[in-house]
């Protein structure tokens, strides 16, 4: 049975920077939990961030941050790049320990984003790109889906969208 790494804020945990959650009781996630597939993590909290915490955005693509060419900066100006890299490592270690080849992570987050992130100006501007945790997971062969694509991954796991790769 495939296990799936899931952002804790998609499971109703109040771990987002402002103390909120992103989803709660999504029917597919609820079923996956009942099936024992879900491995949950909030990479930022795992790395030691408190909740609530200042919002942070990426300056440079998440992939570039992995290679020392970008930064994650809080709105206060505090550079938190090192902690974001640690957050990704902790998520990767957990995925490996639990055999997860797939993840569903919260889009738009500087850690968990998969199709877009915010541009570092703290003005609500979205840009195409991945968060630091997503970039690290995908660089290590773990496919990351956003919460909007939970159904696609469910279809894949059920064999209705082809063989699970």
Binding site for ligand SF4 (CB under 6 A): 7-9, 15-16, 42-44, 106, 109, 111-112
Q: How many CB atoms lie within 10 A of CB 152?
A: 13
- Please, what is the minimum distance in Å from the beta carbon of residue 121 to ligand SF4? 19
26-42 core/surface letters (b: 16 or more CB in 10 A; e: else): beebeebeeeebbbbbb
- Please, what is the minimum distance in Å from the beta carbon of residue 15 to ligand SF4? 4
- Per-residue CA distances from 37 to 6, 29, 95 (Å): 10, 9, 12
- Please, what is the minimum distance in Å from the beta carbon of residue 162 to ligand SF4? 28
Q: What is the rounded CA–CA span in Å between residue 18 and residue 128?
A: 23
């Amino acid at each position: 049975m495939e296990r799936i790494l899931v952002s804790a804020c998609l499971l109703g945990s109040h771990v987002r920077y402002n103390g909120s959650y992103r989803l709660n009781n999504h029917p597919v996630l609820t079923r996956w939990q009942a099936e024992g597939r879900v491995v949950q993590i909030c990479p930022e909290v795992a790395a030691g961030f408190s909740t609530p915490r200042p919002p942070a955005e990426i300056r440079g693509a998440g992939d570039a941050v992995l290679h020392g060419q970008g930064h994650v900066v809080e709105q206060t100006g505090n550079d938190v790049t090192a902690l974001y890299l640690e957050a990704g490592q902790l998520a990767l270690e957990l995925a490996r320990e639990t055999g997860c080849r797939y993840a569903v992570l919260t889009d738009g987050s500087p850690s968990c984003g998969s199709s877009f992130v915010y541009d570092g100006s703290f003005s609500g501007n979205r840009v195409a790109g991945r968060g630091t945790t997503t970039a690290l997971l995908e660089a290590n062969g773990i496919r990351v889906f956003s919460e909007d694509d939970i159904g696609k991954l469910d279809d894949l796991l059920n064999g209705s969208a082809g063989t699970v790769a």
